[in-house]
Structure 1
Amino acid sequence: MSQLPEQSAGPSVPTSADVARLAGVSRATVSYVLNDNTTVRISDATRRRVREAAFDLGYVPHAAARSLRAGHSRMVLLPAAQQLPGPLHQRFFTDLQTDLRRLDYTVVQYGSVGLDADEAVRAWAELRPVAVVAPGGVHLTPHRTGVLTRSGAKAVITLGPQPVEGAHALVLDQREVGASAARHLLSRGRRSIGVLMPQDPGLAVFAGPRLAGVLRAVETSGAAARAEPLPLAYEEEPAARLAARWRTLGLDAVIAYDDEYAMLLMRALQDAGVGIPEETAVVGAGDLMLGRLLRPRLTSVRMELAAAQPPAELIDRLIRHPGGPRERHDLLRARTVVRESG
């Protein structure tokens, strides 16, 4: 009778008991040290000995087992559902992850590309996170938020231009970006303003509110002014075609989606012989260093994040005290930095 070949034993997985033996302490002490538990007094020398033993053995705590013992997860899920518009948002997520880890949360980024909204939410729920911080690329509804809370999420927080019913909201109100640029141009006597709208669908969630901010500022200005959306792909040829017919549009200013689109059009307008800012003032958004190196230097809307409480501490509080009223926190501040282009 044939027999199955014996399976070669793989390397043994180190356990907390192994760490305890090597360090000469109890397993409870290992748990307190490696989970950064400060409620129990343990000498610095013992903590150092435990960490050195864990390092030597290649031991890391088992997150799932820790969650089972605690009765809840420590995972905060950050779905990567959309393109992030610029370095400001990248810094926000970097700082958020760093601060959450300091608070002893396991931060997991999850890609949802190719999934529709219902599929994405179910995929998030399968991971049983204790909290979800969802960018605006996946449209949350009260039903989808309920799927997450029923799976164990104590806090569902959206990050985007508008709050979502049933979820806490960190609001980046992009309307103020467009409004700030429009108010500046109107104060300079510009009355016919083009608004560059990127054709990249991933940017629509931010571009739409910025346009709305421009339109609102023009409408409430009391001036005989107008604003015209101008769709543009981020490529040289479409920019050159737009610049070639610029004088037929009757525009004396343009607000670009961001500094990169502003620089793209500025170069095309200059190549077409359109004077900046004599014929057309140009305003970008993002205040990139490269825009300050152009000639003329680029006027731009600078965006800053400001919150009464650091977002990681806010998320921690919402996790520890679930069930309260839904909170809204406005994070975005916008101001126009005036330079030579408009």
Structure 2
Amino acid sequence: MSQSSKPPKPPTPPSPSPAPVPTSADVARLAGVSRATVSYVLNNAEAVRISEPTRRKVREAAEELGYVPHAAARSLRAGHTRIVLLPTSHVPIGPLYSTFLNELQWALRGLDYTVVQYGSLGLTGDEAARAWAELRPVAVLSLGEIALSAHNVATLKRAGARAVLTMGPQAVPGAHALLMDQAEVGARAAEHLVERGRRRIGVVVPEEEGLGLFSTPRLEGARSVAGAEIVALRMAYSEESAAELAQRWGSLGLDAAFAYNDEYAMLLMRAFQDVGLRVPEDVAVMGADDLLIGRLLRPRLSTVQIEMPTGERLAALVDEAVREPAAAVRRHDLMAAVAVPRDST
């Protein structure tokens, strides 16, 4: 064999064909039932009575085959999706609201909805409405970070949203309003401090972007209290910022601090102690949200307890709005606030 001749390359083995996608008919054959029964079981249809052994056979067959119902086909049959779109918060709203939102998502899942979180950072109301509408959600639950208009609500409804619900201090025409009056939190805090003989109150306003949705109404609520002289003070959620504020506290002539929430209050209280200010003798400190850790501090932290609705209640409101899209939009007051006096005031 000459040096120029080369043995032929072995043929490239063919790529394995992808496994066929299992269908409901495959599940029906394996389980020994009809396709309709498969659909009823896997779509959790409650109107049809199917025995538990049959349900178990269908689920086991679906798991064995790796079958998953097609969401788009299901949506075509029903005329709408089961997606509840929840625009993702991009601000640190605190443990109280995070727990509430987690409960809400679990409750919606229990009602057979799919919760889709959507990152909406930087979008205007018009941009957000169009982006959300592309997913064809059956409901949108806006937390209020993006200011929606009646036109935005109409855009979502034209795209198939049976309900639009907004959480926040103000109602939006065409949407169910889940009102959360943050001004009441500030008012209850200032009233308590005035009752304790404190008049010159520094209200800590977070420097973090996006928290104005909560902090601005709380500041205005404190300003509404007769006898309170309110000074707004900017502070970041950091030890350094709290220390800087504590260092200049003596020059401000203030005798009390109402912080945005318990976490900011704890940072500031520790900073006061580090510079030799006594709590509450030299300065009274009050937070909001009534976190457990505030009760473990010494002195124990006075706070404003916020009574939030349960996730189950709000999920039920979403479900009711979806099932009755023609019903008149309603306003629901979701929040109450009460001062909880402890040692720090």
Stretches of structure 2 lacking an aligned partner (at least 5 in a row): 1-12
Aligned to 1:264: 267
1:326 is paired with a residue whose SS is coil
User: 2:201, 2:255 within 8 Å by CA — same for their partners in 1?
Assistant: yes
TM-score, normalised to structure 1, is 0.92
Aligned to 1:69: 77
C-alpha separation in 2, matches of 1:185 and 1:81:
32
One-letter code aligned to 1:200: E
Aligned to 1:82: 90
C-alpha separation in 1, matches of 2:235 and 2:150:
35
Aligned to 2:64: 56
Q: What's the Cα RMSD here?
A: 1.8
Q: How far is the alpha carbon of 1:297 from its aligned partner?
A: 1.3
Q: 1:324 aligns with which of 320, 327, 332?
A: 327
One-letter code aligned to 1:293: L
Matches within 5 A, 1:3-18: 8-18=16-26
Aligned to 2:187: 179
Task: Tell me whether 1:243 sits opposite 2:246 in the alignment.
Answer: yes
User: 1:82, 1:136 within 8 Å by CA — same for their partners in 2?
Assistant: no
1:38 is paired with a residue whose SS is coil
Q: How far is the alpha carbon of 1:117 from its aligned partner?
A: 3.1
One-letter code aligned to 1:17: A
C-alpha separation in 2, matches of 1:118 and 1:291:
41
Aligned to 2:109: 101
2:202 is paired with a residue whose SS is strand
Matches within 5 A, 1:1-342: 8-83=16-91, 85-216=93-224, 218=225, 221=226, 223=227, 225-306=228-309, 310-342=313-345
Bigger mean CA deviation after superposition, 78-87 or 132-141: 78-87
Stretches of structure 1 lacking an aligned partner (at least 5 in a row): none
User: 1:125, 1:148 within 8 Å by CA — same for their partners in 2?
Assistant: yes
C-alpha separation in 2, matches of 1:74 and 1:265:
45
C-alpha separation in 2, matches of 1:45 and 1:190:
68
2:211 is paired with a residue whose SS is helix
Bigger mean CA deviation after superposition, 160-169 or 225-234: 160-169
Q: How far is the alpha carbon of 1:307 from its aligned partner?
A: 7.1
C-alpha separation in 1, matches of 2:87 and 2:16:
39
Q: How far is the alpha carbon of 1:150 from its aligned partner?
A: 0.9
Percent of pairs with identical residues: 60
Q: Deviations over 1:210-269 (max 9, x none)?
A: 1111111x2xx3x3x311111112222222222122122111111000111111111111
One-letter code aligned to 1:76: V
C-alpha separation in 1, matches of 2:245 and 2:139:
46
C-alpha separation in 2, matches of 1:238 and 1:115:
30
Q: Deviations over 1:23-73 (max 9, x none)?
A: 000000000111111222211111111111111111111111100111222
Q: How far is the alpha carbon of 1:308 from its aligned partner?
A: 12
C-alpha separation in 1, matches of 2:308 and 2:123:
30
User: 1:307, 1:329 within 8 Å by CA — same for their partners in 2?
Assistant: no
Which structure has the larger Rg over C-alpha atoms?
A: 2
C-alpha separation in 2, matches of 1:310 and 1:80:
20
Q: How far is the alpha carbon of 1:134 from its aligned partner?
A: 0.7
One-letter code aligned to 1:141: S
1:285 is paired with a residue whose SS is coil
User: 1:78, 1:107 within 8 Å by CA — same for their partners in 2?
Assistant: yes
User: 2:261, 2:288 within 8 Å by CA — same for their partners in 1?
Assistant: yes
User: 1:74, 1:129 within 8 Å by CA — same for their partners in 2?
Assistant: yes
Q: How far is the alpha carbon of 1:161 from its aligned partner?
A: 2.8
C-alpha separation in 2, matches of 1:6 and 1:119:
47
Q: How far is the alpha carbon of 1:83 from its aligned partner?
A: 2.2
Q: Deviations over 1:83-107 (max 9, x none)?
A: 2522222222222222222222222
C-alpha separation in 2, matches of 1:36 and 1:211:
48
C-alpha separation in 1, matches of 2:337 and 2:285:
17
C-alpha separation in 1, matches of 2:230 and 2:122:
35
C-alpha separation in 2, matches of 1:237 and 1:98:
38
Q: How far is the alpha carbon of 1:81 from its aligned partner?
A: 3.9
C-alpha separation in 1, matches of 2:87 and 2:96:
18
Q: How far is the alpha carbon of 1:300 from its aligned partner?
A: 1.2
